Structure 1
């Protein structure tokens, strides 16, 4: 699928990649979800499937937080407070830690589903013009920033899961 250029394409891409990811997650054996066996987001690290889901939740919640900051009239801190764009590996580690207390696989998946639903609702709340008609962060539109942190990571995560599912 090409890069979304409007609201409907963004929603379609979000849901298509979400569905693909959910199918793959459903095939990961439950006894393997907390074992670090995937390449991590920081060079030289390993992560578990639970860490991967935590990463996706973290980015989803970060996007939602950007919009809460905006609605409150605050300056939006990109990518996150205390992190620069060249420190995304460290930010990934933070996201793993943020959800490490969710030691129930079903609870972690439910949190992921809730975050995805909030992101869909966020996109639905904006017009095409608000999503793609004007720059929102530097030269990037709001829709593109949402796509960078939903559609792309969902697809990347589904691909990463192939390493476990082929064993």
Structure 2
């Protein structure tokens, strides 16, 4: 299998595989340090908290679900999100951090689990052809757009979270 999923089954394996590992990492981090800055941010030279990483993943997962819901209803979609352009992803990340800044760590983890379950359900409800055999946004298939915004950032964030865990002795 290539590192980039090419089918529905590979996409489900990629998401479920990295998500299980990432959640195991999150679960050993205590709520007491979950808001400490120390995780490398998306913008070079910035530091964010573990909670911010969870908020980021929730935000992107919910966007994927929103995009598909709107498109399936024949409605226009503002990519990546209303008020943001693709060259403003740092601002969008900050928006996600702010949106969830008052949430408790455990509630964030539960919301992430729920959001990922919804994404997995979406993928499961679609055929391989719907996911990978036709462009969905510009040249990208829906499967690739889901992967760009779920399993790929999960892998990236897991590396950063593991560094944070090591630094904190978790």
Q: Deviations over 1:120-163 (max 9, x none)?
A: 00101110000000000111100000000111011111101122
Matching of residue 84 in structure 1 with residue 85 in structure 2? yes
Counterpart CA distance in 1 for 2:92 and 2:70 is 19
CA RMSD of aligned residues (A): 1.1
Q: What is the correspondence of 1:4-153 to structure 2 with a 5 Å cutoff?
A: 4-102=5-103, 104-153=104-153
Instruction: State whether residues 42 and 92 of structure 1, in contact with CA within 8 Å, keep that contact through their aligned partners in structure 2.
Output: no
Instruction: State whether residues 52 and 157 of structure 1, in contact with CA within 8 Å, keep that contact through their aligned partners in structure 2.
Output: yes
Counterpart CA distance in 2 for 1:99 and 1:20 is 23
Counterpart CA distance in 2 for 1:43 and 1:83 is 19
- Equivalent pairs counted in the alignment come to 166
Output the TM-score relative to the length of structure 2.
0.93
Q: 1:157 — aligned with what?
A: 157
Instruction: State whether residues 65 and 119 of structure 2, in contact with CA within 8 Å, keep that contact through their aligned partners in structure 1.
Output: yes
Please list every run of at least 4 consecutive aligned residues from structure 1 whose deviation after the TM superposition is greater than 4 angstroms. Answer: none
Secondary structure of 1:37 counterpart: strand
Structure 2's unaligned 5+ residue stretches are none
Q: Deviations over 1:22-78 (max 9, x none)?
A: 111122233210111112222332210000000000000000110121123211111
Q: Deviations over 1:103-134 (max 9, x none)?
A: x2111110010000000001011100000000
Output the TM-score relative to the length of structure 1.
0.95
Counterpart CA distance in 2 for 1:164 and 1:50 is 12
Structure 1's unaligned 5+ residue stretches are none
